Every structure is written in structure tokens, then in C-alpha cells.
Amino acid sequence: MATDEKVRGPASYFPSIEKKYGKPMDHWLSLVGTRRDLKHMELVAWLKSEHGLGHGHANAIVAHVLATRGG
């Protein structure tokens, strides 16, 4: 029997991020991936100030990138 697992964590925001800002998640993930010089909250602030993202969306992107690269 197959189960439909609901997406949890930061990735649960991805569909609404794509819809609201009109860019695919690869764009946002790559963008954050280039900024290894900044810490979590610095990245969130950067996405908010330079790219116009809301706090929750920026935080979800950063959390996902940092989790996948191990910090």
C-alpha cells in the first residue's frame, strides 16, 4: 500500500515561494549557495533586503541550503 507523505520542513514552503516570486527554487537555492561568507541570519537579511523575500520564505531557503551542505 502506497502512502502519500506530506512534505515537511523548509521544503514545504517551496511551492509558495515559486508562485509568489516567479522564479524556480533552483534559482534561490543556487543564489544562497554562492554566499558561503554569510551566516544563517545574515543570509536571511540579504534575501530580504536585496531580493525582496519575506522573512519566512527567506528563512526556509537558507535553512534548506545550510542543512543540505552540512551547516
pLDDT tens-place values along the chain, 71 residues long: 455 678 888 899 999 999 999 999 999 999 999 999 999 999 999 999 999 999 999 999 999 999 998 75
Residue 71's pLDDT is 56
The set of cell numbers assigned to 60 is 526556509
Provide DSSP, 5-69.
Answer: PPP-GGGGGHHHHHHHH-S-HHHHHHHHHT-TTS-HHHHHHHHHHHH---HHHHHHHHHHHHHHH
